[in-house]
């Protein structure tokens, strides 16, 4: 059986995955972890065909469904959909997957989606000068249930949208969303938004290259305090 945990609420989906792993361990299963974003069809076939020396085995595959489209990805999904062996399969992805994508895994897949907390959208709308206290409060509320990299990425996207609004290049949103973005963008100057995005890119580079020991949360605390005061 395949159990799939996915969605923008990554902390919640992670907890569900860990609970499922604990349940498998308590039943005596050996756990094997597989990096789905690097998985090759031949390796998956070999793993599924190999019997465990300790009895039952459960595979934990992370990142397969959300990786970029490729022939290898499609073949791996097809292999899983056709698998009829005794191994249980737990899958996890940080993105919300469509019903069509989930359906490719076959009819017996049990999918559980964890949605991003509603506070995340309130946080995005709170990003404006003079609103540091509320924005920081909402940010920490969101991060308590979602990985900080997700919050960071969505904030960078939000600032990009505001820059687009200021430049007259409108993103494709519903009229009510456009109205909110337009009102939010009007509270910033072009230079402020460009500086904001540049600082976010610097933070991302520093963390990914190991140039800083601070987390995304630490950096956002400092940046938002400075720019939204």
- Return residue ranges of the chain for CATH 1.20.272.10: 119-227
Residue span(s) of the chain under CATH 3.40.50.300 come to 2-113
Summary mean pLDDT of the chain: 92
SS3 sequence of the chain:
CEEEEECCCHHHHHHHHHHHHHHHHHCCCEEEEEEHHHCCHHHHHHHHHCCECCECEEEEEECCCCCCCCHHHHHHHHHHHHCCCCCEEEEEECCCCCHHHHHCCCCCCEEEECCCCCHHHHHHHCCCCCCHHHHHHHHHHHHCCCCHHHHHHHHHHHHHHHHHHHHCCCCCCCHHHHHHHHHHHCCCCHHHHHHHHHHHHHHHHHHHCCCCCCCHHHHHHHHHHHHCC
Query: Within 10 A of 112 (CB to CB), how many other CB atoms are there?
Result: 14
pLDDT, one tens digit per residue, over 106-158 is: 988 999 998 877 888 999 999 999 999 999 999 999 888 788 988 999 999 99
The fraction of the chain above a pLDDT of 90, given in percent, is 75
Between 115 and 201, name the one with better pLDDT: 201
Using pLDDT thresholds of 50, 70 and 90, give the confidence band for residue 202.
Answer: very high
- What's the confidence (pLDDT) of residue 146? 80
Tokens representing residue 27 in the block? 């039943």
Average pLDDT over residues 15-23: 94
pLDDT band of residue 177 (cuts 50, 70, 90) is: confident
Listed residue (95, 28, 89) closest to 67, CA to CA:
95
pLDDT in tens, 55-104: 689 999 999 999 999 999 999 999 999 999 989 999 999 889 999 999 99
Q: For residue 57, what are the contacts with CB-CB under 8 A and spacing of at least 6?
A: 29, 30, 31, 32, 51, 87
In this predicted structure, what is the pLDDT of residue 46? 94
> What's the average model confidence in pLDDT over 199-203?
97
Measured CA to CA, the distance from residue 106 to residue 190 in angstroms comes to 49
What is the per-residue pLDDT for 52? 64
- Write the burial class of residue 167 (CB in 10 Å: 0-12 exposed, 13-18 middle, 19+ buried): exposed
Question: What is 2-113's CATH superfamily?
Answer: P-loop containing nucleotide triphosphate hydrolases (3.40.50.300)
pLDDT band at 105 (very low <50, low <70, confident <90, very high): very high
pLDDT score, position 145:
75
Confidence at residue 130, expressed as pLDDT on a 0 to 100 scale: 96
The domain 119-227 having CATH identifier 1.20.272.10: the answer here is yes
Q: What is the pLDDT of residue 54?
A: 62
Burial of 145 (0-12, 13-18, 19+ CB in 10 A): middle
């Amino acid at each position: 059986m395949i159990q799939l945990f996915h969605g923008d609420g990554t902390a919640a989906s992670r907890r569900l995955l860990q609970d499922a792993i604990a349940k498998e361990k308590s039943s005596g299963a050996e756990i094997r972890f597989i990096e789905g974003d690097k998985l090759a069809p031949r390796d998956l076939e070999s793993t599924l065909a190999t019997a465990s020396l300790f009895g039952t085995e459960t595979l934990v595959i992370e990142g397969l469904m959300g990786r970029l489209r490729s022939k290898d990805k499609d073949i791996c999904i097809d292999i899983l959909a056709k698998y009829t062996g005794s191994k249980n399969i737990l899958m996890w992805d940080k993105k919300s997957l469509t019903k069509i994508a989930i359906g490719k895994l076959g009819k017996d897949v049990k999918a559980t989606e964890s949605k991003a907390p509603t506070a995340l959208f309130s946080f995005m709308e709170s990003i404006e000068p003079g609103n540091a206290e509320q924005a920081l409060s909402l940010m920490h509320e969101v991060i308590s249930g979602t990985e900080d990299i997700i919050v960071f990425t969505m904030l960078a996207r939000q600032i990009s949208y505001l820059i687009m609004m200021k430049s007259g290049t409108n993103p494709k949103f519903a009229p009510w969303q456009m109205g909110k973005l337009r009102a939010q963008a009007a509270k910033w100057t072009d230079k402020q938004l460009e500086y904001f995005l540049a600082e976010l890119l610097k933070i991302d580079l520093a963390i990914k290259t190991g140039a800083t020991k601070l987390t995304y949360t630490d950096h956002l605390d400092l940046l938002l305090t400075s720019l939204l005061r």
